[in-house]
A and B are shown apart, each in its own frame.
Chain A
Amino acid sequence: MIAFCGLSSNLDQHLLQAALPLLQSGKVDALEWSFDTLYNHQDIPDWFVELLRTFGNEGRLVGHGVYYSLFSAKFTADQKNWLTHLGRMCTAFRFDHITEHFGFMTGRNFHEGAPLSVPFNKTTLAIGQDRLKRMSAVCQCPVGIENLAYAYSPDDVSRHGDFLEKLVAPVNGFIILDLHNVYCQAHNFDLDPKQLIDQFPLQLVREIHLSGGSWESSEIDPGRQIRRDTHDDGLPSEIFDLLSYATEKCPSLKFIMLEQIGISLYSEEKRFQYQKDFEHIRTIVQNPGPNPKAFVEPNFLPGNNIALSTPVEDEALFRQQRFLAEILENAGDYNDAKKLLEIKMSNTDWQVEHWQPHMLETAIAIAQKWKQGFNAQPH
């Protein structure tokens, strides 16, 4: 089977304008919808509901959550509400699978903040598994987690795939392999992206994400460019190469999704590039190399043996997450943040002593950018 090539879509003027010719041509095999991002907008038009249902009824609609905050050390009322909303969405639409992101949200309030990674230890594993089980129990379809673009250190990068595999095991879950996230990590830690791909449990990859991003100059390390996963540009040529590489190695791959934010599709030229990127993806997928892995479709269904008890929580980890979020969101500069981290979080599993300076600088930028959620972003 050839994987379905689809678009990450939502109620956005420019994004839909860019997607329309592709939808009209019948070339879009599948849609991905971030069902929890319309919290500010109570109304969705009938035609969009019908569009989602059209894909859903053919098993070509997948749901991609943003705000669950999988690794928050306390199970909050917001997470309960998120699960209730997920349940409603799964009643209204037939999703082939539901996915979320790795990390915990820095924001004190829901829909504010950005996800950051966590130490890969028994406590975080238990919390993540617990939250995934709750997702799985609600949606009754395969659930998966996307690899994170951010990492504190090269050690985090090398252990991410193994941790993801353990994380999804109790729900028989799968992984989204975001190739631009891999590209970011490869660039930011001077690693080979193909070797990084090989470190993931590729038999568990059911979906691939493709996007572009941007470069940011480091102030503390002049001359260094940090790759950010901002989804605001076309795909770099290296991503197409990584797609060819990954599709041959992922036997369970079912969906390949192009992601780009609407605000970056403001001109005809930009929208044309988006359409060209999609056509390029299709060409690669429909013309596999000489040795593609035979497609096998594991059901990735959770089974009936998932027991839910009291939510797993950890007070010490929660305090650390709050410390970290407050430091990153409020630090005046890199040195300020570094000093506070050394005082408050030295000799913990966070291993702040090993964080790369340019990645701490990036974490500050991300946390401060998303401190007030979408409301503070340019429209």
Chain B
Amino acid sequence: MKISKSILHAMLIAVTTGAIVSCEKPRAEDVSKPGVTSPKGQSNTDQGVPLPGGCPACGMG
């Protein structure tokens, strides 16, 4: 499926720099409220959100 260039570009920057979390970000609990973001100008101190290894879900993980 075709993905917009702007999304792919943002993703490329994120994976290249390791900054998976952006400066202006909706909170996971707030994505149902479009437009809710962190305060502008907040420095980006998050350097990626690697999910930990493994997944318990399938019962043999």
A residues engaging B (CB < 8 A)?
10-17, 20, 23-24, 26, 28-30, 34, 37-39, 41-51, 54-55, 58, 60, 66, 85, 88-89, 91-93, 101-103, 105, 113-117, 146, 148-150, 178, 180-181, 184, 213, 227-232, 261-264, 362, 366, 369-370, 373-375, 377-379
Give a binary string over B1-42; 1 marks a CB under 8 Å from any A CB, 0 the rest: 111101110111011001011101111110110000110000
- Residue of A at shortest CB range from B5? A24
In the bound complex, how far is the Cα of B55 from the Cα of A53, in angstroms?
Answer: 24
Write out the residue numbers on chain A whose beta carbons fall within 8 Å of the beta carbon of B29.
42, 85, 88
CB A50 to nearest CB in B, in angstroms, measures: 5
The docked-state distance in angstroms from the alpha carbon of A231 to that of B57 is: 11
A-B contact count (CB 8 A): 194
Contact count band on B? 35 or more
Report chain B residues within 8 Å CB of A48: 11
Closest A-B pairs by Cβ, 6 of them = A47-B10, A150-B59, A149-B60, A229-B60, A263-B53, A45-B22
Instruction: Name A's interface SS.
Output: mixed
Contact pick for B26, options A11, A44, A227, CB 8 Å: A44
The CB with the most chain A CB atoms within 10 A, among B10, B14, B15, B49, is that of B49
Residues of B within 8 A of A10 (CB): 51
- In the complex, the answer to whether B15 meets A17 with C-beta atoms within 8 Å is yes
Residue numbers in B under 8 Å from A227 (CB-CB) = 60
- Cα distance A374–B55 when bound, in Å? 8
A231 contacts across to B, CB distance below 8 A:
54-55, 58, 61
- What would 24 A/B residue contacts be, using CB atoms closer than 8 Å? A11-B21, A16-B14, A23-B8, A26-B1, A26-B3, A44-B31, A47-B7, A49-B26, A51-B11, A66-B55, A101-B58, A105-B56, A114-B59, A178-B58, A227-B60, A229-B60, A232-B54, A261-B53, A262-B51, A263-B51, A370-B54, A374-B52, A375-B52, A378-B52
A20 to chain B, nearest CB (A): 6
Report the minimum CB–CB distance from A40 to chain B (whole Å): 8
